[in-house]
Amino acid sequence: SKSPSPRPNMPVRYFIMKSSNLQNIDISQQKGIWSTTRSNEQKLNRAFWESSMVYLIFSVQGSGHFQGFARMASEIGCEKSQDWGSADFGGVFKVEWIRKESIPFQFAHHLLNPWNDNKKVQ
């Protein structure tokens, strides 16, 4: 389903999405979809409905880089995708990629996450 009409007084939310491999990021960028573990679904769906915008910042585990960021464009549904080939993933949802670029973590070391003991964002 589509996001409700813009809600300017609602917060913007940001999530770091870790991928086990670059192939998943490539699939997402080509098809405009993403799938995550079931444990993340409730948090993301709640953010989708209670925020004006949800941005997803993607990183491949162990890469030392961000691979870009996208906007969450739909809630997470029940439909699964075979693109990732893992039974551990939940439903698919739409994403709109804003920037596709490898950015070293060191460029974001000035960003601290107050909800994670002010640790660096990476």
- Condensed to tens digits (0 to 9), the pLDDT of residues 59-68 reads 998 888 889 9
Q: What are 5's two structure tokens?
A: 């009409």
Q: How many angstroms separate the CA atoms of 17 and 67, rounded?
A: 10
Question: What count of residues does the chain have?
Answer: 122
DSSP characters for 31-63?
Answer: HTEEEEEHHHHHHHHHHHHHSSEEEEEEEETTS
- Condensed to tens digits (0 to 9), the pLDDT of residues 72-115 reads 999 998 888 777 766 678 889 999 999 888 887 777 666 665 66
Domains parsed from the chain with CATH numbers: 12-120 (3.10.590.10)
Q: How many angstroms separate the CA atoms of 104 and 67, rounded?
A: 9
